[in-house]
Structure 1
Amino acid sequence: MPFAHPSRGRSSPTNLQAPRRFGPLRDKHSRPYLITAGLSMMGDNIEHVITYWVLWEVFQSPWLVGFQVISHWLPFLLFSVLFGGLAEKYDCRRIIQIAQGLFAFVSLSWGLLFLTGTLEMWSACVLLVLHGCAGALWGPAEQLMLHDFATPAELPSAVRLNATFKSLGVLAGPVVGSVLLLLLGPTWGIFANVLFYLPMTLLMVRTPFTGHVRSGHVYRERISILDTPRVLRTVADDKVLVGMIVLAGLIAVFVGASLQVAMPNFAEVLGAGGEGGLGYGALLFANGVGGVVGGFLLEATGVLKVDVRGAVIAAVMYGFTSLVVATTTHYSIALIALVIGGVANLAATAIGQALVQLRAPADQRGRVVGVYSMIGSGMRTGNGITLAWLGALLGVSGAVAVGGAALMAGALLVGALIALQTRRRLNA
C-alpha cells in the first residue's frame, strides 16, 4: 500500500483550507479514532476505580496510595521522549496496538490475581508501573496519528476534539467502573474492562495512516533515552514552542491533580456533606463536565484562537478558577468555578499541544511531542510534592490557592516573554 495514498486530495501546509467546525468528526478516518480513544481512556479510568478499591480493601496502605499516583505519572517523566522517538521511527499503528495490548494485559493480570487470591504488594506495584508505561507509550504515537489524519488547518480541532473525547472517557470511567464493580464484582468487572481496549486495537488494523504519511518522514537514527537535552537544544530558538512546553509544566506543577485530591477538603469547607453525598459528587464531576462541554463549545464557537494569547488566557483562567475554588465559602461559586476551570484547562492544554505539533520540526515531531508529554504529564509527580509541602505549611486549601496564583503569574510571565521576543525580532 503506497504511503502517499491517504493524503491524496488533502490540503498541504502551503495550501491551507479554512478549517471546518467539527471537521475531524466529519472525516471517516479520524471520527472512529476519536471515539475509540475515548473508550480506551474510559477503560483506563475503570481500571483505576476497581483496582484502587481492591488495593485499599486488601492492604489499607497510605504508602501504596501515594505510589498509585507516582507510578501513573513517573513513566511520562522518564520515557516520553524515548517513546516519542519510537513513534517517529516505527509505524504508530503498531505502537498504539502494543500500548492497548499492555493495558489489556494489566487488566487481565489484575483479574487473575483477584480470582486466585494471590495479590501481593509487589505484584500490585509491578502492574501499576506497567499501566503507567502503557499510557506513556500511547501518548506520542497518538498525537502523531492526529497529525496524520488532519490537515494543518484542522489539526487544532483534531487535538481539541481528541482531548474532549478523552475527557469524556475520564468522566464516564468512574460511573461505568462503579456499575461494573456493583454488578459483576471486582474480578469479573476488571476482566470485562479488557473489552474497552479492543476497538482502538482493531481500528489500527483498518486505518491506512501510519503517523508518517503526511510528513513523509521516518526517523532513522539511533534512539536514546538521553535524547531530551539534544531535542531541547535544537528547538530552543523557537520561543513559542518552548513557551508552550513551559506553560504545560506550570499547569502540571502548580495545579496538576491537586483539585481532585483536595476535593474532600473543599466539600467539608463548603458544607457539601459526606464523601458519598450528592454535593460532593457534583464537585467531583464539575471539573470533568467543564472539560467535555467546554471542548464542544470551543469547537463550535472558536472563541479562543490557537495562538500564544489564547493559551495564556486559558492558563490564567485555570489558575484563577483554582484560586476561587480554594478560597470561596459559597458552594455555588465553587461549582461554577470548577466547570469554567475544566473548560480553561482543556483549552490551554489543547492549544499548547496543537502549537507544539504545528511548530515542531518534521524530523523531530515525535520527540518534541514527547518532551511536551514529559513536562505536561510527567511533572504532575512534582505537583504532589508541592501540594504536600505547602499543605503542611498553609493547609490544603491554602496550598491550592498558592498554586492557582502561581499559575496565573507564571502564565502571564510566559506570555510577556514571548511577546517581548517577538517584538525584538520585528524591530531587528
Structure 2
Amino acid sequence: MPASPPSPPAQGVDPSSPSRPLHRHPGLLAFLCARTASSFSACVQAVAVGWQIYALTHSTTALALVGLAQFLPMAGLLLPAGHAADHFNRRLIVVTCQCIEALSALLMAVGAFGGWTAPWMIYAMVMVFGAARAFEMPCQQTFLPSLVPASVFPRAAAVSSSLFQAAAVTGPSLGGLLYGAGAGVCYLVCAVGFACACVGTLRIRLVFTPRPRVPLSVATFVEVMHFLRARPEMLGAISLDLFAVLLGGATAMLPVYASDILHAGPLGLGLLRAAPAIGAVLCSVILVWKPLNRQAGARMFLSVALFGVATLVFALSRSMAVSIIALAVLGAADVVSVVVRGALVQLRTPDSMRGRVSAVNMLFIGSSNQLGEFESGMLASVIGPTGSVALGGIGTLLITAVWIRLFPTLWHLDRLDGITPD
C-alpha cells in the first residue's frame, strides 16, 4: 500500500534545508523586520508614557498603575487570544493588532500636540495597547518555528532576540531625544513604526490551514495546563522568569532614578532604558556565534541569579556609569533565559496547541513585566524606590535557589537543538 504524501504544516511553510544561511529561509527577513519595527515603537512609547505620566503626577503610584493598566487586559483576554491563535489566521490577527497600536499612538500624538492629554488618557491608551498585544504576541511567537527548521531554531531565536534588543537600545535613546521636542513627536514616531510593522507582517510567507472550529471553553486551557504539568522543565522555565522579573522589576523605577536620584533628565532616562538592551544585544551576538547547546538549564539558572545581583547593584548605585553597567549586565543575563524558554515553548509544543501555550507564556511574561512594575511602584511608595528595587534583587536570588530544588530536570537540561514536540 503506497504511503500517503505528508501534509503541509499547519499555519506554516515547509522549512528550508538547515544548511542554508538564515537569511535564505523563506519569510524570515520579513518576520525579523516586522518584529523589530514593532519592538522599536513599543520602546519609544514606553519612554514617552513613563516620562509623561510622571511629569503630570510626580507619583510612583501613577507609574505602578501604568503597569497594571497594561496587564489587566492581557490577563483578561488570555482565553480568547490563545483560542484565536490556534483556530484563526495568525498573520491576519497580528496585522489587525498592529493597526490598532498605530491608531492608538496616533490618537495620543494628536492629544499631546493639542495639549489636552490627561493621566486617564494615558491609562486608556496603555489598556488598548495591552489588549492588542494580548492577541498579537501569542500569534507572532508561533511564526519562527514555521519559518526555520528546528536544528537552526536556537540561532534564529538569537538573531531575533538580537534585533529585538537592538530596537530596545535605539528606541529608548531616540525616545529620550524625541521627548525633548514633545511627547507628541514620540507618539507620532510610534504610529509610523507600528504601521511599518504591519506592512512587514503582510509580507511574511505563511500558509494558513483552517482547522475544525472548537468552541471557546475553559477546558481548552485545562488541556494546556495538563500539558505544562507533564513537562516540568518547560513549566519551570516559564515560572522562573515570572517570579524573577516580577520581583526584580527595576525598570518601573527608571523615571524616578533618572529624575530624582541620578538627576539625568529625559535623555538620561533614555540611556537607562537602553542599557539593558545594550547588554542583551552583546549577549545575543555571542549566542548567534556560539549557540546555547551545552548545559542550557544550568546556564539559565546562573543567568537569572546574575540578573538578581545586577538588580541589587543598580538599586544601590548613585553613579550614572555604574547604573548603566548594572542594567547592561541585567539585560545580558535575561537573554539566556529568553532563548532557553523560547526553545522549550516553541519547539516542544505541537502546532495545534502552540497558540494557547504561547498565550500562557505571554501571560507569565506580562505578569512579570507589568505586575512587576505595579509591585515596584506600590512598594516604592511605602519604602522608597531604592528599597523597592533592592528587595526585588534579593527576592530574585532566593527564587533562583528554590527553583533549582523544585525543577531538577530544568537544571539538567543540556541541548536545545534536539528539542522536538511530544
**TM-score, structure 2 normalization:** 0.81
What amino acid does structure 2 have at the position aligned with 1:10? Answer: S
Q: Distance in 2 between the 1:325 and 1:223 partners?
A: 44
What amino acid does structure 2 have at the position aligned with 1:407? Answer: T
- SS of 1:373's equivalent in the other structure is helix
Q: Label 1:227 to 1:320 Cα distance change in 2 as closer, same or farther (>3 A).
A: farther
**2:246 maps to which residue?**
253
Contact 1:81 1:368 in 2 (8 A): no
Contact 1:263 1:284 in 2 (8 A): no
**1:325 maps to which residue?**
314
Deviation, structure 1 residue 145: 0.8
**1:76 maps to which residue?**
74
Q: Distance in 2 between the 1:51 and 1:34 partners?
A: 25
**1:243 maps to which residue?**
236
Deviation, structure 1 residue 142: 0.8
Deviation, structure 1 residue 344: 0.6
Q: What is the root-mean-square deviation in Å for CA atoms of aligned residues?
A: 3.6
Deviation, structure 1 residue 225: 6.7
Matched, 1:397 2:386: yes
**1:158 maps to which residue?**
156
**1:295 maps to which residue?**
284
Deviation, structure 1 residue 137: 1.9
Contact 2:237 2:410 in 1 (8 A): no
Contact 2:173 2:271 in 1 (8 A): no
Q: Which range moves more in the overlay, 156-165 or 326-335?
A: 326-335
**1:203 maps to which residue?**
200
What amino acid does structure 1 have at the position aligned with 2:73? Answer: P
Q: Percent identity of the aligned residues? A: 19
Deviation, structure 1 residue 182: 4.4
Aligned partner of 1:344 among 312, 325, 333: 333
Q: Label 1:227 to 1:408 Cα distance change in 2 as closer, same or farther (>3 A).
A: farther
**2:415 maps to which residue?**
none
Q: Which range moves more in the overlay, 283-292 or 85-94?
A: 283-292
Contact 1:75 1:378 in 2 (8 A): no
**1:426 maps to which residue?**
none
Per-residue CA deviation, residues 298-327 of structure 1 (Å, 9 max, x unaligned), is 222235648422322221221222233334
Q: Label 1:50 to 1:219 Cα distance change in 2 as closer, same or farther (>3 A).
A: farther
Q: Label 1:149 to 1:407 Cα distance change in 2 as closer, same or farther (>3 A).
A: same
Q: Label 1:388 to 1:190 Cα distance change in 2 as closer, same or farther (>3 A).
A: closer
Q: Distance in 1 between the 2:389 and 2:287 partners?
A: 26
**1:29 maps to which residue?**
27
What amino acid does structure 1 have at the position aligned with 2:338? Answer: T
Q: Distance in 1 between the 2:349 and 2:158 partners?
A: 18
Q: Distance in 1 between the 2:323 and 2:79 partners?
A: 37
Q: Distance in 1 between the 2:50 and 2:368 partners?
A: 22
Q: Distance in 2 between the 1:131 and 1:330 partners?
A: 34
Q: Distance in 1 between the 2:315 and 2:89 partners?
A: 45
Q: Label 1:295 to 1:415 Cα distance change in 2 as closer, same or farther (>3 A).
A: same
Q: Label 1:394 to 1:24 Cα distance change in 2 as closer, same or farther (>3 A).
A: farther
Q: Which range moves more in the overlay, 372-381 or 342-351?
A: 372-381
Q: How many residues align?
A: 405
Per-residue CA deviation, residues 329-381 of structure 1 (Å, 9 max, x unaligned), is 77765544332221111211221122111222432111111111101222434
What amino acid does structure 1 have at the position aligned with 2:172? Answer: P
What amino acid does structure 2 have at the position aligned with 1:311? Answer: M
Per-residue CA deviation, residues 12-53 of structure 1 (Å, 9 max, x unaligned), is xxxxx57x8xx5445352123212211111112223334555
Matched, 1:168 2:174: no
- SS of 1:153's equivalent in the other structure is helix
**2:190 maps to which residue?**
193
Aligned partner of 1:104 among 102, 108, 114: 102
Aligned partner of 1:274 among 259, 263, 279: 263
Contact 2:238 2:364 in 1 (8 A): yes
Deviation, structure 1 residue 404: 2.1
Q: Distance in 2 between the 1:304 and 1:330 partners?
A: 37
Contact 2:315 2:387 in 1 (8 A): yes
- SS of 2:215's equivalent in the other structure is coil
Q: Which runs of 5+ in 2 are unaligned?
A: 1-6, 413-422
- SS of 1:341's equivalent in the other structure is helix
Q: Label 1:153 to 1:81 Cα distance change in 2 as closer, same or farther (>3 A).
A: farther
Q: Distance in 2 between the 1:328 and 1:60 partners?
A: 22
Q: Distance in 1 between the 2:367 and 2:359 partners?
A: 10
Q: Distance in 1 between the 2:188 and 2:271 partners?
A: 29
**2:215 maps to which residue?**
222
Q: Distance in 1 between the 2:58 and 2:375 partners?
A: 24
